[in-house]
Structure 1
Amino acid sequence: PDPHHADPHPTHPGPYSAHPDSHLTHPDPHSAHPGPHPGAIPHPTAVPHSTAIPHATGGPLPTGGVTSPTARPATPTPRPSKTAQLPTGQAGTSAARHTAPRPRIITRAGWGANEKIRESGYAYSKSVKVAFVHHTVTGNSYTCAQVPSVLRSIYRYHVQSMGWRDYGYNFTIDKCGNIYEGRAGGVTRAVLGAHTLGFNQNSMGVAVLGTYSAKKPSAKAVRALAKLTAWKLGLFNRNPRGTTHLVSGGGNKYKKGVKVKLRVISGHRDGFATECPGQRLYRKLSSVRSTAARLQGR
């Protein structure tokens, strides 16, 4: 495989394996340590199954482990920090006409994120204009109980091997339809992630756990993707069926400074030359857009 695309994600259980389509060649610009080149990083080992958190299957979570429309935010709204520029705020009152219910979200505490390994402080964009959909290029045979362990392995790799400030994606969805909080900073906020090189600003990254080049994503995962994007994009008055423009920060598909027209719900491949999120998942984005728009009352 291309050394520029060494697989940064573990299948579970067992060691990482090389994959020609792994796509996390996206440095975190707000990290104090940019990290080594992905191709030079040895493949760490996934957390053994014995350490998986059993409540990921839908059983009782620790206090604050799940959020719902009536629960506390998944991550408390952080105080301003010297390392983070606060967003200008969410969309105006007109957004209230097209909001969707807030879905159930498993918090970082719920999947066992070690908050001591990430950088302190938070980084934000001004808005969320695009939701980029990814697949994690990991195995599809995991059980729901194994997911927290897989997420912790990805998290450690992003922070300790790649040198990023935190978990790269803003949210992750498993095949059982569970939604997990990703990068810290507040699930209602425009948290700056590290997921789509050139377009991390004013966007969010949502990864579906698994590989969807040949395998079809589960109906539960697709439905969860629609529910999440309907809710989050609604906070910023974005129409899931619409288009918008982002200015490239520089990548392998668009040069820095190029203004690019994108769908509000796009695949990673729309902003970066990659197969991600896999052809079978990419084909589902049309139905995701329609369902998300419907959930917003459009």
Structure 2
Amino acid sequence: MSKIRGMRRYGFLVSSIGVACAVALAPAQGPPAAVVTARPASATGPSAVPGSTRSLPLHPLTRARTRSAAVAEQGLRRTDVPRFFLVGVVWDDPDAELHGSVRIRTRSAATGTWSDWQDLDPRHHADHGADPGTAERATGAVRGATAPLWVGESDGVEVRVRADTGAPGKDAAAGPPAALPSGLRLELVDPGDTPLPQDSRAGASHPGGPNGKAAAAFGGLAADARLVPPGATWTPSGREDARHEPLARPGGEAAERRGAGPYTGPRPPIVTRRGWGADESLRNGGFVYSATVKAVFVHHTSSGNNYSCAQAPSLIRSIYRYHVQSMGWRDIGYNFLVDKCGTIYEGRAGGVARAVLGAHTAGFNTNSAGIAVLGTHDTSEPPPAAVTAVAQLAAWKLGLHGVNPSGKTYLTSGGGNLYQKGKSVRLDVISGHRDGFSTDCPGRRLYDKLGAIRSAAARYQGR
């Protein structure tokens, strides 16, 4: 495993009203459009720097013509890049929509063969991310972006971004092509070396990083010290009274009120951030919390299904880099991730038992948790193991706050394309991303499983 870099300062930032972001977010500088960079260090040789992101500006292609109407098109083809495993396209203005198609194909580093053309979802940045008007959203570092796509180890890439032509459903000559956003760049992500062995369960002894600062180094482990010792790679399974979980809430009064009762649900085993190899120096320092967790939103990562369970930690590290370095978020957006084998992973740092404020459902991040299934489930059935894991995790997480997984709740919208800011919205306690924002996420096939997930989660709580 690559050495862990020096850590930033960390602070425990808790808002008494739930979502006030008390930490100052330093804007990350995006690469100039004409410069190819590798973050955190330049890749100057034939081999990629382990754990890096290369940003390649797109260029105008020969203008194609459809019945005399020019079609705006940008892209590139590169066969001289170091290895990468995940791709995505970003642009400068997060409020600018990409009306068109983004298609990509890659060359396998193992066989030298090119993949088929694949589509990237151009709306990923709009329906995920921090709520409008929040500190995380207003740093000036946030960018528009497609969904990321896992492509496996590759060393060649070709991408074409093409704007829509004219008005939908009309002849292309009826109007000019839509303008593409400015600053289009292709992001090539190398997740770096394999993390600590997955069989290093909680209680095992591991190095604490630079200067032995293990508690600060590994995300939410300091916050979860009563659940798992710092440096461990797994949060063990168990069943404790919710009143005794280390909930991060000022004064502890709310923990006593919502944590009481028999419906707590057993805690499933969870791979910690150290377990999947998070480089904690990448994210913004400090932790930010909501007041409670009233709902769970289920997602899919829309990153494709062509990964093995052994590759899941690498996929998560890639999404983490893409969210932070390419899209400009403070940390990975999801609170938890689940792979196709049903393994659960800690997402955004701050403590798995805590009400960590995520960036997963634009408008409804406050007082909710986001669980993302790794993969794309528009037409592909989610594996039963993943569905079961989502239900188990939701039962435990909601049980900490005395919430019935089969019930309804009210959340206040922070603004979005379905509900205006400030509107009180009645939602299922376990909802799909599309229930809070007009989006395809979590995919039709996974969305169809939510009824079964609610029922199973209630059973796990003993209801």
Question: After superposition, what is the alpha-carbon deviation per residue over 1:26-57, rounded to whole angstroms, capped at 9, x for unaligned?
Answer: 44334345412336553322326x8344835x
**Residues 283-298 of structure 1 aligned to structure 2 (within 5 Å):** 283-298=448-463
Whether contact under 8 Å (1:132, 1:204) holds in the other structure is yes
- Pair 1:162–1:6, CA change in 2 (3 A): farther
Whole-angstrom CA distance in 2 between matches of 1:79 and 1:91: 12
TM-score of the superposition, structure 2-length normalised?
A: 0.56
Whole-angstrom CA distance in 2 between matches of 1:92 and 1:162: 38
SS of 1:98's equivalent? coil
Shift in Å at residue 18 of structure 1? 4.4
Q: CA RMSD in A?
A: 3.2
Aligned residue type for 1:283: D
Whether contact under 8 Å (1:129, 1:203) holds in the other structure is yes
- Pair 1:5–1:253, CA change in 2 (3 A): farther
Aligned residue type for 2:125: L
Shift in Å at residue 257 of structure 1? 1.3
Aligned residue type for 1:296: Q
Q: Does 1:37 align with 2:144?
A: yes
Alignment partner, residue 3 of structure 1: 98
Whole-angstrom CA distance in 2 between matches of 1:125 and 1:277: 23
Whether contact under 8 Å (2:296, 2:370) holds in the other structure is yes
Whole-angstrom CA distance in 1 between matches of 2:194 and 2:396: 29
Which of 189, 193, 200 matches 1:51? 193
Which of 49, 62, 69 matches 2:237? 69
Structure having the higher strand fraction is 2
- Pair 1:273–1:213, CA change in 2 (3 A): same
Whole-angstrom CA distance in 2 between matches of 1:149 and 1:5: 30
Q: Does 1:193 align with 2:327?
A: no
Whole-angstrom CA distance in 1 between matches of 2:327 and 2:319: 10
Alignment partner, residue 273 of structure 1: 438
Whether contact under 8 Å (1:6, 1:38) holds in the other structure is no
Whole-angstrom CA distance in 2 between matches of 1:130 and 1:4: 32
Shift in Å at residue 88 of structure 1? 6.6
Shift in Å at residue 17 of structure 1? 6.1
Aligned residue type for 1:55: P
Whole-angstrom CA distance in 2 between matches of 1:86 and 1:36: 37
Aligned residue type for 1:19: L
TM-score of the superposition, structure 1-length normalised?
A: 0.85
Q: Which runs of 5+ in 1 are unaligned?
A: 72-76
Whole-angstrom CA distance in 1 between matches of 2:440 and 2:296: 17
Alignment partner, residue 74 of structure 1: none
Alignment partner, residue 217 of structure 1: 382
Whole-angstrom CA distance in 1 between matches of 2:101 and 2:356: 26
Whether contact under 8 Å (1:55, 1:145) holds in the other structure is no
SS of 1:210's equivalent? coil
Which of 242, 247, 258 matches 2:407? 242
**Residues 83-94 of structure 1 aligned to structure 2 (within 5 Å):** 89-90=254-255, 92=257
Whole-angstrom CA distance in 2 between matches of 1:110 and 1:102: 17
Q: Does 1:143 align with 2:308?
A: yes
Count residues in correspondence: 283
Whole-angstrom CA distance in 2 between matches of 1:123 and 1:226: 25
SS of 1:133's equivalent? strand
Shift in Å at residue 141 of structure 1? 2.3
SS of 2:414's equivalent? coil
Shift in Å at residue 79 of structure 1? 9.2
What percentage of residue pairs aligned between the two structures are identical? 50
Q: Does 1:24 align with 2:125?
A: yes
Structure having the higher helix fraction is 1
- Pair 1:274–1:5, CA change in 2 (3 A): farther
- Pair 1:229–1:142, CA change in 2 (3 A): same
Q: Which runs of 5+ in 2 are unaligned?
A: 1-88, 90-96, 110-114, 147-182, 207-230, 240-245
Question: After superposition, what is the alpha-carbon deviation per residue over 1:259-294, rounded to whole angstroms, capped at 9, x for unaligned?
Answer: 111000000000000010001000111010000000
Q: Which has the higher contact order (CA 8 A, sep 6+)?
A: 1
SS of 1:163's equivalent? coil
Shift in Å at residue 92 of structure 1? 2.0
Which of 394, 401, 415 matches 1:229? 394
**Residues 148-167 of structure 1 aligned to structure 2 (within 5 Å):** 148-167=313-332
Aligned residue type for 1:152: R
